[in-house]
Homo-oligomer: A and B are copies of this chain.
Amino acid sequence: MENGKWLVGIDVGGTSVKLAFLTEQGDILHKWEIPTNKANKGESVIQDIADAIHSKLAELNVPHEKLKGAGVGAPGPVDTEKGLIFEAVNIGWENNYPLRDLMQSAIGVPVAIENDANSAALGEMWKGAGKGAKDLICITLGTGVGGGVIVNGDIVHGSKGAAGEVGHITAVPSGGYMCNCGKPGCLETVASATGIVRTAKDLLAVDESESKLKEVLNNTGDITAKDIFVAAEAGDKLALSTIDSLANHLGLALANIGSVFNPEKVVIGGGVSQAGSLLLDPIEKYFKKYAFKPVGESTEIVKAELGNDAGIAGAAWLAANKI
């Protein structure tokens, strides 16, 4: 067995909990998942996690003392200093659930907690696309749009722990679609997988010209973000307009944050980012157009590298740096 202690990275999601043992340098040694038991407001989740860790140690014949500590990324707003999660709707935890202390008692090692999007951002900073950078904006384009902002090597939490809400930047100041957050025009309404599909449908409704997406819609009754990227790859004009619209909104929002933060890198992750340069190139074009010049020239727009491992890597970073 290698020297040094192990870090435990824990990424709590609404469906499963991702777990890993990592070296103190953040290399994953063992990685596994357990289902999230949401019964009774998620009351067994913490014990399930502790049991899983202890079983895995036994299975590997590794003593408990090998563990330095654990980090936890959880889906909700977190008070990192007090170790509380205000609520985690997807799991059932509520009323300032004392996540850190409960986890610490159950596992038997020091624990640090963080919001899951922030944890993923820290993971990309430590071991992924943001490696080496201390000033970073991370944005995740999935069903929703999440984000984490890192200044001077640490997450920006803001005065009420609500910082980093890149998805709720107002991208469409008037006439925008209503967002799940209760405010119209959020970046999430135009830059998420849901948003891009809606944009394509809106364009289809007014555009008379030929488009593969029209066929897909007629044949299957719906279109997906993936359909849009496949059509765009083949040169479909309406699909390319849809992506251009997304890139324009996203480039503007990122440029405006960029002019204020002057990040070294902007890391773009999530399912939608799988489109690669088809999406990243136009985002970069609009970023440079809208950003304060020294920022536009110096900021790199890069694709996230860790995928689903970003959360556990960031959680392990917490265990290495915050306990």
Contacts and interface: CB of A to CB of B under 8 A. Distances in A.
B262 A169 contact: no
Given A173-B252, A256-B256, A295 B165 contact: yes
A151 interface: yes
Interface string A229-268: 0000000000000000000100011011101111110000
Contact of A260 (B183, B257, B293): B257
A293 B170 contact: no
21 contacts: A77-B294, A135-B158, A135-B159, A156-B261, A158-B262, A159-B263, A162-B295, A162-B298, A163-B262, A164-B260, A165-B292, A165-B295, A166-B260, A170-B252, A170-B290, A170-B291, A173-B248, A181-B292, A256-B256, A257-B257, A257-B260
Contacts of A291: 170
A17 to B, nearest CB: 27
Interface of A: 77, 133-135, 147, 149, 151-152, 156-166, 168-170, 173, 181-183, 185, 248, 252-253, 255-257, 259-264, 290-295, 298-299
B256 A169 contact: yes
B292 A159 contact: no
